[in-house]
Every structure is written in C-alpha cells, then in structure tokens.
Structure 1
Amino acid sequence: MTNPKSFKERVKEELIINAQIYQNIFLNYQYLVFSKHFTTRKYYIISAEKDNFLHLTGVNSKLKASDFFDKCINETLNETDFDFIKKGQNEKNIKGTVRRKIKAFSNIANLITNKATVEENFTKNNISCSLATTDNSCTLGFTNTKSIRPKSLMNGNQTTNPYPIDILLRKPKSEILFNEILIGNTKDLQTIIELINELIDPNLTTITP
C-alpha cells in the first residue's frame, strides 16, 4: 500500500498545474476591459508578468518570484523551494489560505468569459486594488498601475458592487493591436471606437457579429 501524499507534495503538484493555467490565460495574452459603469478609468489593460504568479499562490519562497514561476512551469519545483511560513502569521492559517487559493485557481478561466463581473476601487481587509473581477466562485484583484497586473486571488465573490463587462478584447502579447472579441460584438465596439481606435486591429470592426 502506497503512502498518502503529504500536503506539501499535493501543493507542489497544484502549483505546477496552476502555473500552466496562469501562462495560458495571462502570460500569453493582454486584455482590454471596458464597462460603461467605469468611473475611475475609461478602460483597463491587463498585462500580467511571471513575478505576479507567486503572490497568487499564497506560499512563501526565498526564490525570486520570476524564478519560482519558471520552476513551476518547467516542472522542476522542489518541496524545498517553498514553505508556509510568513512573519507574524500562523502556519496553519497560511495553509488554509493556500488551500483556498488552489480552489480559486481552478475557476480562474471563468474570469475572461461573460460569467465575470467587475468592480473598480476594490478593497478587502488590507487589500486595495484598482479593479477586481469575479465569477462568484473566485475573485481576482489587480494592481493600480498603468497596465494592471494580477495582485490578489481570493475564493468566492468578494466584491460588493460588481457590474457587467460590456467589452473584453484580447491579443497575444507578441501582437501590437487587440484582435479578438471575447465579450461584446462589433456593434458594441463601434460605440467606443473613438476611445480605443488606436489599440484595435481595423479588421475587428468589420467582422460580422
């Protein structure tokens, strides 16, 4: 009979899986988010980096954040590369946080679908974000920077006044112009064309919705 896997071993396996999810959704693409309810900014551009991944996991590591991601994505992460020890925090609580973040990660793909809603100037406990998006099963908060980056991942819907995403565009990071509509259609796009005209592929406004 084989011995059951330790909690740390199971977390390591999930970190490797979640790094692939993070790369496929966020690292490979940039997003433009627009809602007619936005008041702080006219739109937001999401542009994630490798070093944003570590904080979303809840674990502690002495590795550089970008190196931690590289070891996860290359499946070379060791159990000695991370722990559940953070200054001023109880290890049991940290493990609970990690469990919740792992559960949230399984739903993160929903945040770029029409299941998602958004909230500007999101705050939760000591967390302050320019924007948060939720599908009711998880909530992702973003940094207050020109191009916003993932900052905090929470389980469940932590927003208080969410509203619909009217337009969500995507482009590969290697491309200059946004060339794919994930939420909305060409008719919706025409309503804000003057606002984002220089950011989108001209063919995007001529495709039949």
Structure 2
Amino acid sequence: MATKADKKNAIRQGIIDSAAIYSQNLAGKAFLYVYGDEYFEVSFPVDHFLHLTGVETKLSAKDFYKNAKKAKLTNNQFYFDARHPYANAKKKLPCLKRLPELTNDMVCILKDMQTVTIIYKLSVTNLEFTLGLTENMDEKGKKVNDFFLPMSLRVENSSVEKSNVGEIVDFIFSKDASVAKYDTVLVEDKHKTIPESIKHLISEKFYENMFL
C-alpha cells in the first residue's frame, strides 16, 4: 500500500510533468475562441499554473512554477489543507496534463458557471474537465486587457448543468504572445465562416491562405 511519502512523491511528479506540458503548449501563447458571432481571447500566465494544481505552497506562484518546470520542486515546497485536500490534487493532475486538449480539440463554451465561491463568466470544457476563466484584473480590480486567464480546473461532469448556456466552439486560433495577430488555426468547423468581428485579429496573409 502506498505510504504518505509515496503519495506526495506521485503528486510532485504530476506537478512537474504538468509544468513541462504547460510550458511547452500554453505559456507564452494566446488563443482566440470563436463561437457564432462571439469570441474571447485566453492567455496562460506562468503565475496561474499554481491555481490549477490543487495544492498549496508558501512559494510565490512564479517560483512554484519555475521550480516545477525545472523539476526542482521538493515535497517540502507544497502541502495539502482543508481547502486543498490531497484527493483534489490527485483528481486534478491527470487533467492538468491534458489541458492543451482545451485549446486544440472541439470544446464547449460555458457562460456563468456557478461554483460555491464564484461565478465564472466564461469557461471551456470537454465535458470531462472544465477550465474556469477570469478577466485579467490588477490588484485594484482594474481591467488590464481583454484577455481571460485560467483560474480553476474542475474535474466533474456537472459543469454544464451549473452554467446558463453551453455553445460548441467554431474556431480556435493561436499565436505566440509576442506577435500581434493570430496565424494558426487549431480547431475549425468547416461548415462555418469566420465572422467579420474577428477579422482584425487575424493575420491578413494567413486569412487569405486559409479561407479565401
């Protein structure tokens, strides 16, 4: 039977593996989700990784991610408590490793998903797990930009019932965060056309090559 140390080692390894995937596929990139005439953009800052792991730490969120990414995170650098129970982390980490699926597979956009503590204006789900998104605000509650940021990873299939509306995504575009316009399409419903409302966000050359 697994000892407490074995269990914590497994969680630590899960966090390290997830950080490598987050670094490779999500950090430093931006994603544009389009459904009908509506759209929103998501970025994955390194200091939001901690929120998604289900563990608590005394490290800053950036240092936690940095240590995990470099595989230097130790068992003493994170812990479980009433708000962050072991069972929760154990459930979340396999889904955290699969987080890129929410950017490169057909997903459902949920509006106003209710949890005990917060209502997420927008969430993205593949019906196995759900990413709750929050607006990018500074410490004073002032909006920094129009991007949404990952805040909560929920492993449950009741997210749709807890939301007002669920809509299937039509397109997901990506770009390097340092580039002005989107130049890659990750998900595309061939039966749909790109709405006029997002054309200003897409590289003209890429748009012409792809859609004209």
2:87 partner letter: G
Residue of structure 2 in register with 1:170 after alignment: 174
The residue that corresponds to 1:59 in the other structure is: 55
Quick one: which amino acid aligns to residue 126 of structure 2?
D
Cα distance, 1:141 vs structure 2:
0.7
Per-residue deviation, 1:107:
2.9
Q: 1 CA distance for matches of 2:187 and 2:73?
A: 36
Tell me whether 1:200 sits opposite 2:205 in the alignment.
Answer: no
Alignment match, 1:75: 71
Describe how 1:92-171 pairs up with structure 2 within 5 A: 94-145=85-136, 146-157=146-157, 158-160=159-161, 161-171=165-175
Identity of aligned residues (%): 22
Matched residue SS, 1:129: strand
Contact 2:111/2:123 (<8 A) preserved: yes
The residue type paired with residue 202 of structure 1 is E
Q: Distance in 2 between matches of 1:178 and 1:186?
A: 18
Once the two structures are TM-superposed, the CA of residue 103 in structure 1 deviates from its matched residue by 2.6
Structure 1 SS opposite 2:49: helix
Determine if contact 1:116/1:133 at 8 Å carries over to the other structure: yes
Larger RCO (CA within 8 A; separation ≥ 6): 2
Moved over 6 A (4+): none
**Contact map agreement 2:48 2:151 (CA 8 A) in 1:** yes
Do residues 22 (structure 1) and 22 (structure 2) align?
yes
CA distance in 1, matches of 2:207, 2:168: 22
Counterpart secondary structure, 1:144: strand
Q: Check 1:105–1:21 CA distance in 2 against 1; reply closer, same or farther (3 A cut).
A: same
Q: Secondary structure of the residue that 1:75 maps to in structure 2?
A: coil
Instruction: Give 5+ residue unaligned stretches, structure 2.
Output: 137-145
Q: Is the 8 A contact 1:15 1:57 kept in 2?
A: yes
Distance 2:32 2:66 in 1: 26
Secondary structure of the 1:133 match is strand
Taking a change above 3 Å as real, the CA distance of residues 52 and 175 of structure 1, as seen in their structure-2 partners, is same
Inter-partner Cα distance in structure 2 for 1:132 and 1:25: 19
TM-score, normalization: structure 1?
A: 0.84
- TM-score, normalised relative to structure 2: 0.83
Q: Does the 8 A contact of 2:109 with 2:169 survive in 1?
A: yes
SS, match of residue 152 in structure 1: strand
